[in-house]
């Protein structure tokens, strides 16, 4: 663990603990040892508690009276709820941003994307990094231009929480699924490049519905393997 300097603010500590949760270093249901985290990060308990309070508000941590703080459990119901909210808010963000984003920017991004290929020679890690960049480019583009910081922050939080589900069984993600994700993103961007906002919204909704189904299946399969002891 890298040593934090005294000048590090609670924001960085918050990001580190959040990453522990999203990447399952702190697993669902784990009791959070505040003293241990403070020693590991070489800070006092105060910024740890402040960070955990923020994570409670984001739904990643829960406080149980007289017992302490715990990493929130994961469930299919929660995943469905997150996608329902994300879908509603993200479609709104796309509608708001579509009239603002410069067409030249969209065309440049489309040109870059059309040159992307997923090959057998690529490792899964390399393919995932490529797809992650595409995710950031597309979703980040219209969230940045939606003109509503609260809307952007909410959608980003939901995307992060979905990432936690995807990482339950990361190795089970196949390259053909990445190819499908890429194709769906490309269709949204193509509609935007044509100035067809309604088609872009329709395609984004289709993509999010499919993404929910894929994530749901991967989570259920991964959770069953974890609870059966096949994967530890």
If asked whether residues 93 and 153 sit together in one domain, one would say yes
pLDDT in the model for residue 7? 44
* pLDDT score of 6: 47
The domain in which residue 202 lies consists of 76-228
Distances (CA, A) of 91 to 83, 104, 107, 220, 221: 12, 22, 21, 26, 29
CATH number at residue 58: 1.10.10.10
Per-residue model confidence (pLDDT) at position 88: 98
What's the confidence (pLDDT) of residue 35?
96
Checking 190-198 for CB contacts under 8 A at 24+ apart, the result is 190/110, 192/98, 192/101, 192/106, 193/103, 193/106, 193/107, 193/110, 195/103, 197/94, 197/95, 197/98, 197/99
Q: What is the pTM of this model?
A: 0.83
Q: Are residues 84 and 57 in the same domain?
A: no
Say if residue 57 is in the same domain as residue 95.
Answer: no
105 with 189, same domain: the answer is yes
Task: Report the pLDDT value the prediction gives residue 60, as an integer from 0 to 100.
Answer: 94
36 found inside a domain: yes
Residue tagged 């309070």 (tokens) = 53
Bridge partner residues of 71 (DSSP): 61
Same domain? 128 vs 42: no
DSSP reduced 3-state for 1: coil
pLDDT of residue 124: 67
Same domain as 41, residue 112: no
Query: Could you report the per-residue pLDDT of 159-203, keeping only the tens digit for each?
Result: 989 988 877 655 555 667 778 888 999 999 999 999 999 999 999
Q: Let me know if residue 98 belongs to a domain.
A: yes
CA 132 to mean position of chain CA atoms: 10
What burial letters (b/e) apply to 39-54, b meaning 16+ CB within 10 Å? eebebeeebbeebbee
Closest of 173, 172, 171, 170 to residue 182, by C-alpha: 173
174 and 206 share a domain?
yes
Answer yes or no: do 112 and 219 share one domain: yes
Indicate the number of domains in the chain: 2
E-only strand ranges, the chain: 61-64, 68-71
In whole angstroms, give the CA distance from residue 73 to residue 71. Answer: 6
Rounded CA gap, 54 and 220, in Å? Answer: 28
Residues of the chain with pLDDT under 50: 1, 6-7, 228-232
Find the angle CA(27)-CA(229)-CA(124) to the nearest 5 degrees: 70
Given a contact cutoff of 8 angstroms between Cβ atoms, the answer to whether 187 and 114 are in contact is no
Write the pLDDT tens digit of every residue in 118-138. Answer: 666 777 677 777 777 888 889
Give the number of residues written for the chain: 232
pLDDT at residue 228, rounded to an integer: 46
Do 138 and 80 reside in the same domain of the chain? yes
Count Cβ atoms within 10 A of the Cβ of residue 135 and give its class: 0-12 exposed, 13-18 middle, 19 or more buried. middle
């Amino acid at each position: 663990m890298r040593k934090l300097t005294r000048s590090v603010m609670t924001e960085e500590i918050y990001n580190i603990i959040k990453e522990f949760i999203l990447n399952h270093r702190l697993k669902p249901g784990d009791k959070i040892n505040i003293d241990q985290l403070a020693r590991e990060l070489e800070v006092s308990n105060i910024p740890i508690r402040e960070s955990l309070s923020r994570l409670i508000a984001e739904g990643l941590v829960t406080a149980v009276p007289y017992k302490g703080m715990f990493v929130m459990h994961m469930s299919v119901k929660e995943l469905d709820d997150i996608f329902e909210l994300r879908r509603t808010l993200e479609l709104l963000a796309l509608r708001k941003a579509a009239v603002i984003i410069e067409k030249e920017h969209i065309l440049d991004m489309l040109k870059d994307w059309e040159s992307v290929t997923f090959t057998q020679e690529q490792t899964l890690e390399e393919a995932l990094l490529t797809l992650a960049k595409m995710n950031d480019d597309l979703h980040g583009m219209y969230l940045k231009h939606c003109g509503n910081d609260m809307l952007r922050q909410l959608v980003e939080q939901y995307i992060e929480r979905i990432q936690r589900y995807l990482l339950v069984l990361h190795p089970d993600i196949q390259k053909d699924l990445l190819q499908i994700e890429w194709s769906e993103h490309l269709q949204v961007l193509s509609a935007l490049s044509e100035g067809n906002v309604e088609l872009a919204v329709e395609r984004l909704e289709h993509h999010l519905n499919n993404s929910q189904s894929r994530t749901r299946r991967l989570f259920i399969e991964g959770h069953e393997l974890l609870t059966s002891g096949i994967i530890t």
